[in-house]
Structures are given as C-alpha cells and as structure tokens.
C-alpha cells in the first residue's frame, strides 16, 4: 500500500473554491505530519495547476487526485505525476489508465468483488459514515486482507475505529481542514492537524 498512498495514515481531502488556494494548505499539512494529499476535481482548475503543485511539493508530499470520474481526467492526472487516482465509484476505463494507482469507491460486497477482480489493490469505502468501522470486519470475512480506506464523514473518533479495524489509512476532509479555505487561518489548521495526528497515534 505504501507505493499507492505513501506513508501517512491520514489522507487529507482538499476541496476549495479554486486550486490556487491549495498551496498554503498543503504546506501547512506537510509541516504537521500529514503528507498524503488528495486534490479533488470538484475544485476548479485542479488539473490545470496540478503540474505546478507536483513540482512544488513532490519531494515532501504524496499527492494524488480525487473525484476522478472518467478516463480523460485520469490520463491528465496520471501524466502530471499524480501518485494515486481516487474515485467515488468503480470505472473500468479509469482503471485501464491508472492501473495500480487507482483506488475506486465501493460500498457493497458485489462492488468490492468487482474492484478486486479487476485488479485494484485497494478500495475506498464510500460513504463510510453510513456503515461505520464494523463494516470492514464483515467485509474481511469473504475478502481476507481487504485494503479498504474509509471516506465520507470520517471524524477523529471514526478514524480511530477504522484504523483499529485494519484500514491502512483514512480519508479526512472537513473534520481536519475545517474552514481554512475561507478563513486562511493556517495556524488553526496546524493545531488541528497536530492534534489529529497525535490522537490517531500516527
């Protein structure tokens, strides 16, 4: 898994008004031990500015792209050097482009089986808040060793539970980032990030 999501157990999911807002937030996260970053395509200009961001942070962060819904966007992200490609769903055409870097969103056992059968090394349980960490234990009955990353409404307490259940990492957005994109309060983000990492035992 390290070659897909890096070494940080926390994947910070960034959604902003524009991709030009990303850099200081990424810098703050890195400086406080969260080095795996998901830049979402719901943020305007993410693909446009991705090469610049990759060049700026490539030696210090493990940056991937999220909400990738089609092969064209996957190809653009892949070409820019994205370390992983994450989606809310499974798409065979995106898998062809991204290969082992692809982490599709799944929910049901059927979707898990489809993704694993297609060659995915890891999956994203989405929306994770709906089922809770106990769901991973149930899934690992028929799918031993399943590498599943929870995403969607995961706060600190839920993150702890998923990690305890065996998740290699957790995707966290709002509970970690708060309103930093509107306030530019990077000191508050730094404090939250340090506390999150410390409490998670990362």
User: Which position among 83, 124, 137, 160 bears the catalytic label?
Assistant: 124
| 124: annotated active-site residue | yes
Catalytic residue check, 75: no
Q: Are 186 and 20 in contact (CB under 8 A)?
A: no
Active-site residue among 38, 111, 164, 198? 38
CA 159 – CA 141 distance, rounded (Å): 21
* Residues whose CB is less than 8 angstroms from the CB of residue 44 and which lie 6 or more positions away in sequence, other chains included: 17, 18, 19
Query: Which residues 6+ apart lie within 8 Å of 156 measured at CB?
Result: 175, 196, 199, 200
Give the separation between CA 186 and CA 189, rounded to whole angstroms.
5
Residue numbers annotated as active site: 38, 124
């Amino acid at each position: 898994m390290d070659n897909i999501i890096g070494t940080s157990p926390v994947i910070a999911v960034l959604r902003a008004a524009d991709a030009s807002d990303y850099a200081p937030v990424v810098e703050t996260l890195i400086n406080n031990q969260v080095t795996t970053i998901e830049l979402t395509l719901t943020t305007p200009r993410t693909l446009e500015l991705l090469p610049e961001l990759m060049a700026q942070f490539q030696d210090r962060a493990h940056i991937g792209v999220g909400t990738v819904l089609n092969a064209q966007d996957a190809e653009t992200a892949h070409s820019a050097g994205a370390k992983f490609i994450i989606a809310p769903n499974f798409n065979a055409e995106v898998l062809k482009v991204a290969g082992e870097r692809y982490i599709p969103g799944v929910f049901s056992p059927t979707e898990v089986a489809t993704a694993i059968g297609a060659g995915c090394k890891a999956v994203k349980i989405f929306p994770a808040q709906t089922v809770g960490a106990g769901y991973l234990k149930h899934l690992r009955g028929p799918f031993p060793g399943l590498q599943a990353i929870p995403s969607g409404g995961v706060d600190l307490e839920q993150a702890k539970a998923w990690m305890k259940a065996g998740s290699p990492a957790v995707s966290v957005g709002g509970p970690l980032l708060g309103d930093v994109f509107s306030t530019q309060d990077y000191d508050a983000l730094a404090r939250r990030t340090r506390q999150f990492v410390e409490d998670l035992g990362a």
